[in-house]
Structure 1
Amino acid sequence: MTGEWKECKLGDVAEIVGGGTPNTNESKYWNGEIAWLTPRDLSYFNGRYISKGERNISKLGLAKSSAKILPKGSVLLSSRAPVGYLAIALNEITTNQGFRSLIPNSNTDNLFLYYLLKNNVEYLKSQSTGTTFIELSGSTLKSLSFLFPSLPEQRAIASVLSSLDDKIDLLHRQNKTLEAMAETLFRQWFVEEADEDWEEGFLPDEFDFTMGQSPPGTSYNQEGVGKPMFQGNADFGFRFPEERVYTTEPTRLAYPHDTLISVRAPVGAQNMAKVECCIGRGVSAFRYKANNDFYTYTYFKLRSLMDEIKKFNDEGTVFGSISKTDFLQMGIAIPPEDIIEKFEIHAKPLNDKVIENCIQIKLLEVMRDTLLPKLMSGEVRVEG
């Protein structure tokens, strides 16, 4: 091996840099060519490398704020609302004040630093303070100590973990391509080539659906006993929900390959059930009436209605919601079943490949997450 690990403060291995926000009332500070991130940009970000957020700032906005240009390879760490989102800058980038970004020195590998922080997110949160929301200060972050191996071993460790993440990223990209292909087929068959003679009806004319209902609180557990429980959007991953909570007294059920739609906070997140599961009041489950095997059509038909479904985010006082009555009254065109069957023949292999990839992604994530603490503690060593 390449030597003993040394305890180092983060401030000694990287420069800690904050961010800033230009005056939002000054239009000339915005819509420029400088990428600018907020923690929100990482809220649904699955990768490691990020190039931009929802908004850009101008050179004048940069000059008139405390935002700073971060070099390519900087490790971006959200330090409030919430603490612990992580990414690596794919190019020069700026952030708002919700970040404490780390620019590694010459003896620190940026990928190793990324994985080190990823392995210690809960610790970082524990070192944060605040009443309205917790925040990790720059001075605190600089003072936190961790064990670091030599630079060659850092790179070797990062290479092992990165190879797994590379495979995960590849499968995510492949899934996006496959979903885009299936969506294109749906649009061609059921939008562009739609027949004016198709029957007009309502959503329940084509689909059975179940509105979720939360079981008694005493039936929840984390031990894997009972049925997986999905309350709403917060439990949704990519295509298959994350199995976080189980219940021994399920009330409303969804079945394998049902299309799941969040019905509150927010309305319109979409997913697919992997197994028979309990759905709480934040979820509804849809399946094609005439043939449960037509789950690809169901998934993309609901996606095609998403603009109408998401309008209900504007309803209500605190947050939007969509009710059973709203779904019952939602108008749709009903294509002939033989056309739907032909679509399934062409699109189902694409959809099934997405499902297969999702299963493989989960296996790779488990492998990575098992290795991460062992590699970061030195319990498992690799040659540098």
Structure 2
Amino acid sequence: MSNTDWYGVVPSSWSISRIKNILIERNESNNPIKTDFILSLTNDRGVIPYSEKGAVGNNSKEDIKGYKLAYPGDLVLNSMNVVIGSVGISNYFGCVSPVYYMLRPRNQNDSIEFYNYLFQTTELQNALKGYGNGILEIRMRIAMSKLNTFLLPKPDCSVQNKIVRKIKESEVKIDQLINNQQQQIEKLKEYKQSLISEVVTKGLDPNVEFKDSGIKWIGRIPTKWRIVPLKHSHLITMGQSPKSESYNTDQMGKPFLGGNSDISEGFSNPKYYTTEITKTCDKYDILMSVRAPVGTVAVSLHDAVLGRGLCSVKSNISNEYSFFYMTFLENKWDEFISGTTFESVNADDIKNISFVLPSLKEIQEMVVFLRDKTMKIEKLIKLKNDKISLLNEYKKSLIYEYVTGKKEVS
């Protein structure tokens, strides 16, 4: 896509101009230090205080002399990530990394929000990719001298403000629909969790006699069921991370599963391979995170090397039933967690956690029941996630049509 192709045909009353003729860079140094309030730019939350990003501590004052200043109303761009939408308007006075550009309108009547919306369009981001220098597409630094030559559509100031108002009105309506879908998804997830919890602790027969399990978070169980340590019927393997220099993305060795980032949507999702074989798990083993957040459960789709952020659990009765039971345990690890700055759970606590053991016949019946019910719930969740994706795509297309004049505003 060329510099001019991305916006297509614009209304005849609009002009086309280089960025340098519309926006001016604020290249103001923080040396001598004028503020130690560090800001950061995120794709999903825009410009936020660095302390809210989740990092441990801010940089020292000596480190921020080379930083730049950002003012309220500045359009902040990450020169390394602008092609993936790392752009936002600052609501703060603070200092930012020197990789950021701060832009403001040359004409004070122009709307910075209009240009922020322009930079949020996928079409503009794709057109910018040819301007970057770097190996990785998402880490291509675009020099300000090159960015200044990029062409933008420019309507009259009054039209810019009308477009911004119209986009905001549309966003409110679309976001309400998205929020409604997200709330329904959360309710479905809660229902799924409560259903699993009920079945693995109470069974399927409503007329069975119950007894007190003696464990508060399990409650009453059928009288013929037993409570045993998890190790009684499971092989539990704690992960052991190989040396980092053995990691690769060339599929040399075995897939590496190190922690929460390698399990998503209930399944293993390795990003790296390793040639150093330490502790391993087999395909279809149950995986559980043993570091914050403790208790996340997934099924391994790989014969893999297991890092110290995970353990594998293999049942000698029914892996499928044990998966449902481990799902029930996901929120039950609080009393076993150790560590204040980095939460974790140890091998003995995992091995000795209480496991509710029904008869084999009941286990088979519960697996069939839960498999059917949870699959139906997951299908509903997928439908709602698909709706959210469509709504987000619709919002993006709407913004693009407004900021390029394809859709008129009254």
Aligned to 1:66: 67
State the match for 1:148 in structure 2.
154
Cα 1:91–1:38 change in 2 (3 A) is: closer
Please identify the structure whose Cα radius of gyration is greater: 2
Amino acid at match of 1:135: R
Flag the 1:98–1:107 CA change in 2: closer, same or farther, 3 A: same
Q: Which residue of 1 aligns with 2:387?
A: 360
Matched length: 316
Query: Partner amino acid for 1:367?
Result: Y
The amino acid across from 2:128 in the alignment is L
Q: Cα offset for 1:71? A: 0.8
The answer (yes or no) to whether the contact 2:47–2:88 under 8 Å persists in 1 is yes
**Cα 1:357–1:297, aligned 2, differ >3 Å: closer, same or farther?**
farther
1:114 matched to 2:117? The reply is yes
CA shift in 2, pair 1:180/1:377, >3 Å: same
1:129, CA displacement in angstroms? 1.7
Q: Distance in 1 between matches of 2:295 and 2:31?
A: 31
Query: CA 1:6 to 1:131, structure 2 compared with 1: closer, same or farther past 3 Å?
Result: same
Residue 12 (1) aligns with residue 21 (2):
yes
In structure 2, distance between residues paired with 1:235 and 1:144: 37
Structure 1 stretch displaced more, 99-108 or 14-23:
14-23
- Return the alpha-carbon distance in structure 1 between the equivalents of residues 90 and 328 of structure 2: 33
- 1:134-178 CA distance string (max 9 Å, x none): 311222223211113331234424543564356546766887899
- Residues 141 and 383 of structure 1, relative CA distance in 2, 3 Å threshold: same
Structure 2 counterpart of 1:248: none
Report if the CA contact (8 A) 1:76-1:89 is conserved.
Answer: yes
User: What's the counterpart of residue 331 of structure 1?
Assistant: 351
CA contact (8 A) 1:17 1:101 kept: yes
Query: How much has 1:6 moved relative to structure 2?
Result: 1.9
Quick one: which amino acid aligns to residue 143 of structure 1?
A: T
Cα deviation code 1:299-344 (max 9, x no counterpart) = 57457779x99x9xxxxxxxxxxxxxx99x9635134268xx9xx9
CA pair 278-5 structure 1, distance change in 2 beyond 3 A: farther
Question: Once the 2 structures are TM-superposed, how far is the Cα of residue 107 of structure 1 from its aligned partner?
Answer: 1.4
- State the partner residue of 1:201: 230
In structure 1, distance between residues paired with 2:232 and 2:121? 43
Residues 259 and 299, structure 1, Cα contact 8 Å, conserved in 2: no
Q: Which amino acid aligns with 2:19?
A: L
Q: Per-residue CA shift, 1:76-108, capped at 9, x if unaligned? A: 322126753425346315421232233455312
In the alignment, which of 157, 170, 174 is matched to residue 164 of structure 1? 174
> Which secondary structure state, in structure 1, belongs to the residue aligned with residue 234 of structure 2?
helix
CA distance in 1, matches of 2:176, 2:47: 11
1:39-87 superposed Cα distances (whole Å, 9 cap, x missing partner)? 6xx3xx5345745434576996698343313315x44322126753425
Cα deviation digits, residues 222-277 of structure 1 (max 9, x gap)? xxxxxxxxx99999999599x9xxxxxxxx998xxx998899xxx9996989xxx9
Q: Secondary structure at the match of 1:143?
A: coil
- Give the residue type in structure 2 aligned to 1:108: S
Structure 1 residues 71 and 116: alpha-carbon distance in aligned structure 2, compared to 1, 3 A threshold: same
Offset, 1:121: 1.7
Q: Distance in 1 between matches of 2:31 and 2:185?
A: 37
Following the alignment from structure 2 to structure 1, what is the Cα–Cα distance between the partners of residues 297 and 110? 43
The DSSP-based 3-state class of the residue aligned with 2:44 is: coil
**Aligned residue for 2:79?**
79
What is the aligned counterpart of 1:128 among 115, 129, 132?
A: 132
Aligned-residue CA RMSD (Å): 6.5
Aligned amino acid, residue 358 of structure 1: N
For structure 2, the residue ranges without an aligned partner over 5 or more in a row are: 1-9, 202-214, 219-225, 237-249, 252-256, 270-281, 340-345, 359-365
How far has the Cα of 1:366 moved from its partner?
3.1
Letter in 2 for 1:126: G
CA distance in structure 1 between the partners assigned to 2:398 and 2:227 by the alignment:
55
CA 1:111/1:147 → structure 2, altered by over 3 Å: closer, same or farther? Answer: closer
Give the TM-score normalised by structure 2.
0.49
1:221 maps to what in 2?
none
* Whole-angstrom distance in 2 between the partners of 1:3 and 1:287: 68
Contact 2:23 2:103 in 1 (8 A): yes
Q: Is the 8 A contact 1:75 1:103 kept in 2?
A: yes
Supply the distance in 2 between the matched residues of 1:66 and 1:123 (Cα, whole angstroms). 28
